[in-house]
Amino acid sequence: MITLDINGQRIPVDTDPDTPLLWALRDTLRLTGTKYGCGMAQCGACTVLLDGQPVRACSTPVSAAAGGKVRTIEGVDRTPVGLAVQAAWERLDVVQCGYCQSGQIMSATALLERNRAPTDAEIDEALGGNLCRCATYVRIRAAIHEAARALA
């Protein structure tokens, strides 16, 4: 049995230590906001924060998350930065199909938690591993700038 800190709650998870965190979140804990995309840590749809850093839940074993703090899209609204990012996403109507958006929001939140005034280049670098098939990158960048202004 592994105990995980998920969105501020310590939760025991009865799973093999090598199980990808994504499956523990989705299948065991029923936190389905974190999406399965490619399964190879290439698309970013499964991005969660582990101790404040974006990680790909599809390639992070549960054992690597034990002892750390995992934040998922279900818990992003518990911080001022997460709230600002979600509000900007809504105001600027970023979402098209929405599949990649939880991963985009998690990466944007991590960026703004460490840098409250990112440049376009810093945004592009921080979200470079988050792919969007609908190509809403311009709106994503604008929403990050909007959230940064709201936090200033």
Tens-place pLDDT, residues 72-126: 999 999 999 999 999 999 999 999 888 999 999 999 999 999 999 999 999 999 9
Q: Which of 40, 75, 110 is the last residue of a domain?
A: 75
Q: Which among 75, 104, 135 is the end of a domain?
A: 75
Rounded-to-integer distance, Cα 13 and Cα 61, Å: 12
| 22 three-class SS | helix
Indicate which CATH number applies to the domain containing 37.
3.10.20.30
Residue-level pLDDT at 116: 96
- In whole numbers, what is the pLDDT of the chain averaged over residues? 96
Instruction: Specify the 3-state DSSP secondary structure of 9.
Output: strand
**How many beta carbons lie within 10 A of that of residue 18, not counting itself?**
9
**Structural domain of residue 111, as residue ranges?**
76-151
The pTM for the full model equals 0.95
